[in-house]
Structure formats: C-alpha cells, structure tokens
Amino acid sequence: MRVIVVGAGALGTMHAWHAVRRGHQVVHLEREQQARGASVRNFGLVWVGGRAEGPDLDTALRARQLWEEIGAEVPGVGFRASGSLTVLRTEAERAVAAEVAARHDAGRRGWELLDEAETRKANPALGGDFLGALWSPHDGQVEPRATQRALQDRLRESGRYTFLGGREVREVVGERSVRDDRGELHSGDAVVLCTGAWLGGLVRELAPELPVRRVRLQMMQTDPLDGQLTTSVADGDSFRYYPAYAGGALDALNAAQPQHPTAAEHRMQLLMVQRADGTLTVGDTHEYDQPFGFDVVEDPYAYLAELAGSLLGRPLPRIRRRWAGVYAQCLDPALVVHRERVREGVWLVTGPGGRGMTGSPAIGEATANEMGL
C-alpha cells in the first residue's frame, strides 16, 4: 500500500515507522522543514509509572517495550532505560508513595519505595535533603531533538520512504488524497493526519467538534551538570499531576500541604532529565486558557531552578535556553489519543497530551492495526 502521513512529530513519525516496517510505501509530509512543535520541545521521557490504570498504562508499557526495540536498532534516538525517582521531601509525600507502592498494580509498574540511603545510591547526583523516593524502573528517556530525524534516516534505507518538508497540507481531496500548499496532489491507499497542536484550518474543517484542547508549557535547559544524573527526577508535585497516584493519601497531601504559590499558579511539577550531552532539561508549567501569552514568564523558571538545586544539593548549572511549547490533549482523560476516521481512508490522530513521546510507538501501532495496514 501507499500511505500518506501528514505531520513529522512523534506521532506522525511513528505512524510512518509502522507502515514502512509492515512493507508499505510512505510519503511523509511536514509543514516545517522539520517538526518544531512539542515533539522536539519535551523532556524525551518514556513515562510509565504515572499513567492511569487501564488503556493509558497498557499503552505506556507497550510503548516502553517498542522504544527499547527501536533504540537497539536506531541508536540515534538515544534510548536509555534509566528509570525515574520521584523524590519525597515531606511525610505527606512519603505517605502517597507508600500507599501506591502497596497497591495491586505496583508490581506491574515496578514501583518501589526507597529510603534516603537507597535513593542516594540509585542517583548519587542527588545531594540535597529528602526522605526517600518512589522508584519507577520502567521509565526511560530518548533524545527529543534527535529522535525524529534518526528514525527518518533509518526509514530512508528501506527505499519505501519519502520525506517532504516545507509542505503544508491544505486540502483532503476526495478519498485518500491530499493537496499541499504548492498545489501538489499526493494520493495513496490511506491517509493519516498527525497534526499535533495544529487544530484549526483543515483539521477544523474535517472535525469541527474535535474534543481536544491545546496546552502550553514552559521549560528550560542548563549547561552540563558536573556529574551524571543516573535517573530522571520528579518532585512530589508530580503526584498531584499524574493520574496513577490518586487515593486517600493524595487527598491528605492536597489538604495538608498546599502547593507553593508559584507552582499552584502555573500548575507546575518538577521534572528533570539529563541529555546525552550532559545538560539538564527542567520543567514544567501548564497553561490551558487561550489565547496563550506570546512571552515566557520568569517566576516559574526561578522557582524550578531553586527547587532543582535543592534536590541536587548545589546550584543548578547556568540556564542556557528557555522555551515554550504547545501540545494537544484529549478532553476525555480516559482516552489515550483521539483517533477518528474523518473520511473513507483518511484518519486523524491527535490529542495524546503530555504522553505523546511516551506513547507514540504504541499509538502508531494501534492505528496501523485498526487501519488494517
């Protein structure tokens, strides 16, 4: 078959990957020369531990397996089975970790409650004051700014993959064809639209009641750390953000330990990941009300720098870059992604929220199965 894939972010690239791996020919269109949205502006986390029980966790676990296989085949994606530590600084946070580590699904997630000494052994770079951590061994990392290009390079080796950057798709023509902004028609046996946070224009025409919203976030990158951060690191506010941690202990945490005012205002959690070059990616914020501001706000960066430094036990390295990004998120939290056949032979896949990099291999696989590729 000849498959037209629109969008070269994490979702689009993984849909192209599965189509080519199943023996099909792919024409891959991207409106930028290369993807510049949330797929390259994220942590590169393969985040399993915090996913909600059910399809969300199933998708993350399958994606984790696929990432490991892909990483072995395509070293350029930079896959690392690093695991993550959610560092506990108060008794209320430790109570949440203890509760979830004792749950029926803790073994499937690999959760383990570590004390202070065990935490420092797992990640010696953490030199600050804390009580322990929740260990999630199935979490991993890839390199977000390199992953899509590395996958494209491998796909080109098949002889069945064509990437066309700088082509904005303006129109779906009949069934199974699209026309780009140069007037060129691209026809195939199937079309997959992975448009990311682009929800207007053609997407609105095809799905005017799309149950998806846009979310804006701020992040930053530091100079290299003088040491190795052996795991990804989160703080206790992650319990408030990820659905897996819901329960009585979390309710007690929210009641007894309000978020820092800056964190509450900007709906923040701390996530910290070390890149292959030694730099740290640190974030993040969440903004839901549109229109989004065009500028970045300084207070969250100052808060994150202080918090990250307190966990490291030394000042955060100099901040090298700051940026904002926007992703698309399903309004129904029970859905991993919005997948809809908008015309015969034309599929729209969008709205994975902050799980796009985590789940993209499994989401692409599921779409390929549903399409009968």
Per residue in 113-129, pLDDT (tens digit) is 999 999 999 999 999 99
φ, ψ of residue 330 to 5 degrees: the values are -60, 140
pTM for this model (two decimals): 0.96
Q: Which CATH number fits domain 84-137+212-330: 2.40.40.20, 2.60.40.420, 3.40.50.1000, 3.30.9.10?
A: 3.30.9.10
Chain centroid to CA 287: 16
- Helix H, strand E, coil C: the string for 223-281 is CCCCCCCCCEEECCCHHHHCHHHCCHHHHHHHHHCCCCHHHHHCCCCCEEEECCCCCEE
Q: What is the domain partition of the chain in residue ranges?
A: 2-41+145-211+334-371, 84-137+212-330
**Cα 340 from chain centroid (whole Å):** 21
Helices 248-256 and 91-101 pack at an angle, to 10 degrees, of 170
If phi > 0 it is left, if psi is from -120 to 50 it is alpha, else beta; for residue 181 that is alpha
The dihedral sign for the CA sequence 230, 234, 236, 240: negative
For residue range 254-298, list pLDDT tens digits in order: 999 999 999 999 999 999 999 999 999 999 999 999 999 899 999
Residues 6+ apart with CB under 8 A from 70: 17, 77, 79, 151, 361
**Element containing residue 103 per DSSP (H, E):** none
Average pLDDT over every residue of 123-147:
97
Q: Place 147 in a pLDDT band, splitting at 50, 70 and 90.
A: very high
pLDDT of 333 = 87
Regarding the domain with residue range 2-41+145-211+334-371, which homologous superfamily does it belong to in the CATH classification? FAD/NAD(P)-binding domain (3.50.50.60)
